[in-house]
């Protein structure tokens, strides 16, 4: 989403929102709020590539951090290191982070393939982020042994769960 497209989307939504626009029409993330949601956006932070947005909010006067992520498709540990650094100032508030992380967190349960998984340098950084920030995979918490997938790769003939919602353990 470009800045213009994001502004138009928020305008058509008739609510409020925050976004990180795409640089080359390949990226862009947005968080939209319904008009009936009593939300105040107190601050926001975004990367320059349209890959993540962090919204510091008050919902009904309760602080909450929402983060929307669209991770690179290539193995990019620096992306997750930068995201970790960006989240650190917000640790005093509950966090909900969701999006397309473009890698399976659990290579056993979140992936199904006849091929052996390639070694990922980004996965350990993401796992460290989750631990350092105190986030848990809310779906996995409710479905500890279930296999379900959000992506199918034709070239690799594999299924993967790449889309997640991580929430603070305090929620």
CA 16/CA 28 separation, integer angstroms: 17
pLDDT the model gives residue 117: 65
Q: What is the pLDDT of residues 117-137, one digit of tens each?
A: 678 999 999 999 999 999 999
In this model, does residue 64 exceed pLDDT 70?
yes
Q: What is the pLDDT of residues 31-58, one digit of tens each?
A: 989 888 889 999 999 999 999 999 999 9
Read off the tokens for 85.
């650094």
In this model, does residue 70 exceed pLDDT 90?
yes
In this model, does residue 2 exceed pLDDT 80?
no
pTM: 0.88
Pairing of strands 163-168, 52-59: unpaired
Strands of the 151-153 sheet, one edge to the other: 111-112, 158-160, 151-153
Region of residue 8 (phi > 0: left; psi between -120 and 50: alpha; otherwise: beta): alpha
CA 7/CA 30 separation, integer angstroms: 10
């Amino acid at each position: 989403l470009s800045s213009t497209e994001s502004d138009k989307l928020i305008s058509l939504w008739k609510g409020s929102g925050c976004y990180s626009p795409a640089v080359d029409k390949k990226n862009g993330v947005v968080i939209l709020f319904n008009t009936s949601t009593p939300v105040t956006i107190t601050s926001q932070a975004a990367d320059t590539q349209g890959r993540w947005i962090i919204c510091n909010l008050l919902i009904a006067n309760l602080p909450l951090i929402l983060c929307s992520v669209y991770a690179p498709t290539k193995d990019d540990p620096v992306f997750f290191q930068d995201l970790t650094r960006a989240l650190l100032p917000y640790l005093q508030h509950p966090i909900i982070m969701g999006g397309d992380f473009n890698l399976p967190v659990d290579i056993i349960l979140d992936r199904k393939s006849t091929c052996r998984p390639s070694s990922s340098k980004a996965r350990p950084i993401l796992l460290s982020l989750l631990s350092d920030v105190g986030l848990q995979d809310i779906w996995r918490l409710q479905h500890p042994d279930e296999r379900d997938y959000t992506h199918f790769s034709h070239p690799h003939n594999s299924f993967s769960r790449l889309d997640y919602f991580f929430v603070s353990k305090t929620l």
